């Protein structure tokens, strides 16, 4: 595997590994306070990043664009802000980081939506 797909898969694999460890720790401690943050890490980190990686692997010409690289950076930033942001919101009643992470994650999904629409119409843009 090459290109941007590899990087999406790597972040996905790291996310699910950390998510599994986090889930085991919660189960052992019987403290599930951070379950929403854990769930978002697995859903956004493992599932969504993995799906992005699959798409770029299946449509390699799309993965070779500058927009795909921007997408990776934005998606990763969203994940890094969102999951800890939710944990902070749950523990300290401060939702600022979670809100920013949510908006960055939404921006990532909008980039992906644009990519799919662009590829489906057969148009390529110079970015």
How do residues 18-58 score in pLDDT, each as one tens digit? 999 999 999 999 999 999 999 999 999 999 999 999 999 99
- Residue 121 near residue 91, CB atoms below 8 Å: no
Residue 15 and residue 3: Cα distance in Å, rounded?
19
Q: Is 65 left (phi over 0), alpha (psi -120 to 50) or beta?
A: beta
pLDDT above 80 (res 127): no
- Checking if the pLDDT of 125 tops 60, the result is no
The vertex-110 CA angle with 105 and 115, nearest 5°, equals: 125
In this predicted structure, what is the pLDDT of residue 124?
Answer: 57
Nearest CA to 15 among 79, 87, 97? 79
* pLDDT confidence of residue 89: 98
Per-residue b or e along 90-101, where b marks 16 or more CB atoms closer than 10 Å to that residue's CB: beeeeeebbeeb
């Amino acid at each position: 595997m090459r290109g941007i797909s590899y990087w999406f898969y790597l972040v996905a694999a790291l996310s699910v590994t950390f998510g599994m460890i986090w889930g085991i720790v919660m189960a052992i401690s019987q403290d599930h306070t951070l379950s929403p943050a854990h769930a978002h890490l697995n859903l956004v980190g493992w599932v969504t990043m993995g799906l992005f990686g699959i798409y770029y692997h299946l449509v390699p010409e799309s993965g070779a664009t500058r927009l795909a690289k921007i997408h990776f950076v934005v998606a990763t930033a969203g994940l890094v802000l969102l999951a800890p942001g939710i944990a902070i919101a749950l523990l300290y009643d401060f939702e600022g980081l979670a809100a920013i992470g949510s908006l960055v994650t939404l921006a990532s999904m909008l980039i992906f939506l644009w990519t799919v629409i662009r590829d489906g119409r057969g148009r390529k843009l110079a970015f």
